[in-house]
Chains A and B, each alone.
Chain A
Amino acid sequence: MAQITLNALAHTYSPDPAGPKDYAIRQMSHVWQQGGAYALLGPSGCGKSTLLNIISGLLEPSDGEVIFDDRIVNALPPEERNIAQVFQFPVIYDTMTVFDNLAFPLRNIKTPEAQIKGKVEEVADILDLTPLLSRKAKNLTADEKQKVSMGRGLVRDDVSAILFDEPLTVIDPQLKWKLRRKLKEIHQRFNITMIYVTHDQLEASTFADKIAVMYEGQVVQFGTPRELFETPAHTFVGYFIGSPGMNFLEVTLTPQGLAFGTLPIPVAPALLEAARHSGSSNIKLGIRPEFIEVSEAPGDETLAVEVEDVQDLGTYAILSFRIGSAAFKARLDEGVSPQGPRAHVRLPAEATHLYIDEYRVEVTQ
């Protein structure tokens, strides 16, 4: 059982880093509560696997501290950290049976054989591996192998956290869903801290209570799936979470207010004030496609837009349109299907976020 604290943690592979660009993990401080289910979400190369390896001890961070409860574990190798890790490709001991595979971590710490049997059978039962116990691990299917490698983490009583590094990559889609549910079940049953690395937002949000979205070596937002959806703290979160991602409009500050090209964009006064105050020229407005209101007739605060395309995805439709030169997408309500080249959209103020230098500006409205 452990609370994992990352204190001013950063990591670089270069011996003399010149700037933030040289860091695989840029400085961050986070607390991962004991018993929580967390996901590290981000695209390939964003540093999420590096961060996971730092937590598991396969990699020693170049800066900052990793703290398990009150103990700084920076220099501790993985075998002394009481963690388990499940890798992208199932790691099993080919020549051993499933039983021996599950017993392996226990035998390595010289557990009495009688105790091993009970523990292995218990874990095999939870993972539905009981009928396979006497089979050679080599001949299992990918999802069974992945369950075996997960089981090796569960047999040890001293495991305080299980780390998953994209564990479902090689699993068939319909089994993915089953295995994900299994993970959830295990999490609830064992009260173990779980950290799950993935690039799949669906996997992350079904598994985790809290998601850390990583981008270019930084955690750009650490929040619940709902927070990531409703109030993305960074433009990347807006773009990466959701399907399709958030719409962004690069606006400029004019004496009259915000404008896109020559088109004035009405926003709440508080947002305008914040934009003026920042002095930055990188100002964006973001709105999720789900919150854009589309109508066929002009109304209050609507903008006339050019319809490009309507894509019917079965359960709902996505409207592609342009505001000037900016491409937008909106999710259409049932019954609304704009005919012809023009439509009218309203961007509700409560769903419109202001981003300055890519970060969301918090204002009380």
Chain B
Amino acid sequence: MNKVQSNKAWFLVLPMLLLVAFSAIIPLMTVVNYSVQDVFDPNTRFFTGTEWFVAMLNDPALQGALLRQFAFSFTILAIQIPLGIGIALLMPKQGWRASLVLILVTLPLLIPWNVVGSIWQIFTRGDIGLMGWGLRELGYGYNITRNPLDAWATIILMDVWHWTPLIALLCYSGLRSIPEAYYQAARIDRASRWAVFRYIQLPKLTNVLVIGVLLRFMHSFMIYAEPFVLTGGGPGSSTTFLSQSLAIMAIAQFDVGPSAAFSLIYFLIILLVCWVFYTAIMNLQKDKS
């Protein structure tokens, strides 16, 4: 057979290539560019190699922010995933109640990040905020600007309020897709309520939960606006997470080189965690030979 050599097909790939270049590769490469240079002014720059990366990894302030960030992400996942599944299991299956509950549950998802921070800022104020005032009236000296524990608890509560609905929504859709026959078979097999959850509902939720966990991890790992508005990263630096540290460095101090190196490290951490998690889950479903 005569094969006609033609490379015309490459032209068809070109639009996509351009799109990806402008949306991802070029912005990312500028960051890479800054991360290996020390820029003094538009005309003066030095090549620094991995210097900024080493400096960033050894910076105690950033190490602290990174630890806090992991602690935060794992805490909210540990609360939101079980809570979201629980809510989904309790939601009505059909009828007007199902629609009503769906809307009520979804409402927090529709509120912009900054607004969430502002709402909670007001909510937790000791003088006019319902929660702040209420806790004080109950005798607890609640103060998020002084007590790091209060600040932490409030940020976690805020994130749980804001994002658990996403998990609930995903699980609800997953639960609705389980055919009735599975429940009927389980009844005939005399499965307990727990066994139905453990062997029917949870396995069928695996896929939506993987998506949920990945989304929530990435999202929470990048959290910025809410703690920024609520606590400003304080008291001290007790609620300063990675994004805020980065913003201070890049915008307030204009340390372009270090913040570029830091951005790349930040990005790679998210990528790595997601990859490890996804691979681990997918391996669970394979046969052990």
Contacts and interface: CB of A to CB of B under 8 A. Distances in A.
Interface string A89-107: 1010111100000001100
Given A93-B200, A135-B287, A83 B188 contact: yes
B35 to A, nearest CB: 44
B190 A93 contact: no
A79 interface: yes
Given A89-B179, A89-B181, A91-B182, A79 B199 contact: no
B285 A105 contact: no
Residues of B contacting A: mostly: helix
B287 A136 contact: yes
A87 interface: yes
A138 interface: yes
Interface in B159-212: 179, 181-182, 184-185, 187-192, 195, 199-200, 202-204
Interface residues of B, number: 20
A11 interface: no
Given A104-B189, A105-B189, A93 B287 contact: no
A58 B199 contact: no
B203 A95 contact: yes
A84 B188 contact: yes
Contacts of A58: 184, 187
Contacts of A91: 179, 181-182, 184-185
Contacts, number: 59
Contact of A95 (B181, B184, B187, B199): B199
Given A78-B187, A79-B190, A96 B199 contact: yes
B188 A79 contact: yes
Interface in A283-341: none
Given A104-B191, A108-B192, A85 B199 contact: no
Given A93-B203, A96-B199, A85 B190 contact: no
Contacts of A77: 187
A149 B187 contact: no
Chain A interface residue number, banded: 20 to 34
A88 interface: yes
Most buried by B among A78, A93, A109, A139: A93
A78 B188 contact: yes
Interface string A17-35: 0000000000000000000
A87 B195 contact: no
A56 interface: yes
A53 to B, nearest CB: 8
Contacts of B179: 89, 91
6 contacts: A89-B181, A94-B203, A104-B199, A109-B190, A139-B287, A153-B188
Given A58-B187, A79-B188, A87-B184, 15 more contacts: A78-B184, A87-B181, A88-B181, A89-B181, A91-B184, A93-B199, A94-B204, A95-B203, A95-B285, A104-B195, A105-B189, A108-B191, A108-B192, A108-B195, A138-B285
Task: Identify the 10 closest CB pairs spanning chains A and B, nearest first.
Answer: A91-B185, A87-B181, A105-B189, A108-B190, A94-B203, A79-B190, A93-B199, A95-B203, A78-B188, A78-B187
